[in-house]
């Protein structure tokens, strides 16, 4: 029996919670603690700005600072602001400039050229190992990396104007002069995110300016945020700038990213980038899931067939795993594993976060009807008594993870001055998925942890299998190499095979929980109902680690094919596979 998709308290798409959040801080926008004394706005500037009556009413929220404005003009206004640095510390890549198309502004950001972010060989091998293992599990019991608003990335210009809008905060009452304005959910291209292990890609698709575009808009209507936008535009006019935040230049009112509407990426282009990555030789055995974050407008405006046709222009129908495939090949049973889908020649699956018409069901799954999909908040995960059983709201029953119900946890790190991504006070300091919390989300059994601002460092925090620097290269001098899991940290290491060390045997199946046994003779003979196999996700790995600790053992051998750098994929696309059930 299916139920409506619940959302955790920090997710930004719930209109009721957003309304409550806005009402709770709206008074603070108008009556917050004041700042340094403000100058009167010169009458000649007001006249020259040609303000509307509504904009003139916003002047009371402007804190004019004549000395700062003079310095602004002397430095050349917008032209004096350097290109935004869009490459996080510690990241190595080929640098390039992304510039908007508006001649009056010419605003640029320094970003990583798509596909050039350098990853450690260890990280690449660990990602492929974990993806390969998780691909053997039915979709509802699998664990893969995701990202939140994957295509709202500075690499494609989203957030390019942030520094410029941020400068306007210095001229706004009740706004910290150092307040942040950050509207890109991601730093890097979809290609780089896929290279970093992402297999659940979220695309925000909307019909804007007569085209399907990647746009962070829709579903949010907030008077405090509207007022913030209006004051920003008034300040821009008073300064004589030509960067405005409105429906003409940004695409939707209000938009959630600072990018011009004609610079917003076409939906087709984002799909083509994913297709190019999938078509590379080294990725022929990789399966990708696309989560479409769209509004009911797509259907109500009669654009559903346009969206479906756009998908089919990029991905041939025979490559897409569809709802009818479940009925045709799996007798309407539970969703199969990625490996089973690959065996059918399928490479990609589309999910929408809406209840569209039956026409969409021919091509696109609705998460309202798959795996009892839910998106608990990270806060709920962190405070639950047992993180492998989550209480989403006080008084609700505990929902166990990896029990056939897909759990996706997303966090957002956008900042709009006094607002955070969920339109709460930006100093609320809610938890985010980062280097510290990502390992916990994986160990707790979350199916699709989906952070903002993925970096190689955060991607490394998703690794629960190989220890850094592992596996060692095969050595014939000391005999064959085997893989061992350590009871101390749960990580895997390769070393010359040793007699007398037990082999880990995993109970056959995937539910309701996993049991492990040990085969002491090291000859591959596991107890009945068990097989010598490696863990397939972090929660299984943690269960094996705890068993070893309870038994007082330091290590156990894992039956796993060692990856060799530069070799062909573990399994060629389309070749026979063995799937455990």
Report the pLDDT averaged over residues 345-350.
98
- Encode pLDDT of 551-571 as tens digits: 999 999 999 876 544 444 433
Contacts of 427 (CB under 8 A, 6+ apart): none
Report the pLDDT averaged over residues 71-88.
80
Q: Which of 93, 468, 456, 100 is nearest to 249 (CA)?
A: 100
Whole-angstrom distance, CA of residue 459 vs CA of residue 454: 7
Proportion of the chain above pLDDT 90, given as a percent: 55
Query: For the chain, which residues make up each domain, given as ranges?
Result: 15-460, 481-558
Instruction: Read off the pTM.
Output: 0.88
Q: Is the pLDDT of residue 476 over 80?
A: no
Tell me what pLDDT residue 330 has: 92
Q: Is the pLDDT of residue 240 over 50?
A: yes
Radius of gyration over alpha carbons of the chain, in Å? 26
Tell me what pLDDT residue 2 has: 32
Q: Is the pLDDT of residue 80 over 70?
A: no
Tell me what pLDDT residue 570 has: 38
Of the ranges 75-89, 133-147, 416-430, 554-568, which is most confident?
133-147
Tell me what pLDDT residue 393 has: 82
* Assigned token pair, 152: 């709202």
What angle do the packed helices 15-31 and 223-238 form, to 10 degrees? 50
Contacts of 108 (CB under 8 A, 6+ apart): 83, 84, 97, 98, 99, 100, 160
**pLDDT interval class at 306 (50, 70, 90):** very high
Report the pLDDT averaged over residues 251-269.
78
- Encode pLDDT of 426-442 as tens digits: 666 689 999 999 999 99
Tell me what pLDDT residue 79 has: 59
Report the pLDDT averaged over residues 542-546.
95
Which has more confidence, 9 or 54?
54
Mean pLDDT score of the chain? 84
Which has more confidence, 76 or 197?
197
Report the pLDDT averaged over residues 48-66.
91
Tell me what pLDDT residue 503 has: 95
Report the pLDDT averaged over residues 215-223.
70
Asked whether the beta carbons of 48 and 239 are under 8 A apart, the reply is no
Tell me what pLDDT residue 68 has: 86
Tell me what pLDDT residue 537 has: 96
Report the pLDDT averaged over residues 487-505.
94
Report the pLDDT averaged over residues 348-363.
90
**pLDDT interval class at 78 (50, 70, 90):** low
Tell me what pLDDT residue 577 has: 34
Give φ, ψ of 451 to 5 degrees: -85, 165
Tell me what pLDDT residue 138 has: 94
DSSP H helical segments within 181-337, as ranges?
A: 190-195, 223-238, 247-250, 267-279, 297-300, 304-314, 323-330
- Encode pLDDT of 360-405 as tens digits: 999 999 998 899 999 999 999 998 878 889 988 888 889 999 999 9
Q: Is the pLDDT of residue 200 over 60?
A: yes
- Encode pLDDT of 154-186 as tens digits: 999 999 989 888 888 889 887 887 888 899 999
């Amino acid at each position: 029996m299916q139920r409506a998709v619940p959302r955790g308290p920090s997710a930004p798409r719930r209109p009721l919670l957003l309304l409550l959040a806005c009402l709770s801080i709206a008074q603070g926008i108008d009556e917050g603690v004041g700042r340094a004394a403000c100058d009167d706005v010169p009458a000649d500037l007001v006249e020259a700005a040609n303000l509307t009556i509504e904009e003139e009413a916003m002047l009371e929220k402007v804190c004019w600072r004549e000395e700062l404005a003079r310095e602004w003009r002397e430095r050349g206004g917008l032209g004096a602001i350097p290109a935004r640095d869009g490459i996080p510390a510690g990241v190595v890549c080929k640098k390039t400039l992304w510039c908007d198309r508006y001649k009056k502004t010419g605003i640029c950001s320094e970003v990583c050229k798509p596909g050039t972010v350098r990853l450690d060989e260890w990280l690449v091998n660990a990602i492929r190992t974990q993806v390969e293992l998780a691909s053997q599990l039915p979709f509802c019991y699998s664990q893969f990396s995701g990202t939140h608003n994957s295509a709202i990335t500075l690499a494609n210009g989203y957030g390019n104007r942030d520094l410029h809008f941020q400068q306007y905060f210095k001229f706004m009452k009740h706004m910290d002069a150092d307040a942040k304005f950050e509207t890109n959910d991601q730093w890097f291209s979809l290609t780089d995110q896929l290279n970093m292990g992402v297999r659940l890609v979220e695309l925000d698709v909307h019909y804007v300016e007569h085209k399907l575009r990647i746009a962070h808009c829709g579903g949010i209507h907030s008077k405090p945020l509207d007022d913030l936008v209006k004051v920003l535009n008034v300040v821009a006019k008073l300064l004589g700038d030509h960067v405005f935040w409105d429906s003409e230049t940004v695409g939707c009112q209000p938009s959630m990213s600072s990018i011009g509407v004609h610079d917003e990426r076409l939906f087709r282009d984002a799909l083509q980038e994913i297709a190019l990555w999938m078509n590379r030789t080294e990725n022929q055995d990789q399966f990708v899931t696309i989560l479409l974050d769209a509004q009911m407008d797509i259907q109500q405006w009669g654009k559903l067939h346009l969206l479906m046709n756009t998908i089919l222009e990029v991905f041939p129908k025979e490559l897409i795993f569809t709802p009818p495939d479940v009925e045709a090949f799996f007798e309407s049973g539970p969703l199969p594993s990625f490996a089973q889908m690959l065996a059918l020649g399928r490479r990609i699956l589309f999910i929408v976060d809406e209840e569209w018409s039956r026409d969409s069901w021919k091509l696109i799954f609705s998460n309202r009807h798959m795996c009892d999909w839910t998106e608990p908040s990270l806060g709920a995960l962190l405070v639950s008594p047992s993180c492998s059983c989550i209480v989403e709201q006080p008084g609700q029953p505990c929902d166990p993870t990896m029990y056939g119900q897909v759990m996706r946890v997303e966090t957002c790190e956008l900042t709009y001055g006094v607002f955070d991504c969920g339109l709460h006070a930006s100093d609320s300091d809610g938890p985010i998925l980062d280097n510290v919390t990502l390992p916990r989300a994986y160990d707790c059994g979350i199916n699709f942890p989906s952070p903002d601002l993925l970096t190689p460092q955060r991607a490394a925090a998703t690794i629960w299998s190989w220890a850094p620097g592992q596996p060692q290269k095969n050595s014939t001098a000391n005999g064959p190499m085997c893989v061992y899991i350590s009871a101390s940290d749960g990580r895997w290491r390769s070393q010359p095979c040793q007699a007398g060390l037990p082999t880990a045997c995993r109970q056959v199946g995937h539910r309701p929980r996993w049991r492990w046994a040990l085969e002491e003779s090291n000859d591959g003979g596991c107890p009945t109902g068990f097989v010598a196999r490696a863990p397939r996700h972090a929660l299984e790995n943690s269960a094996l680690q705890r068993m070893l600790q309870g038994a007082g053992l330091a290590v156990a051998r894992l039956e796993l094919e060692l990856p060799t750098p530069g070799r062909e994929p573990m399994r060629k696309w389309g070749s026979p596979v063995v799937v455990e059930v």
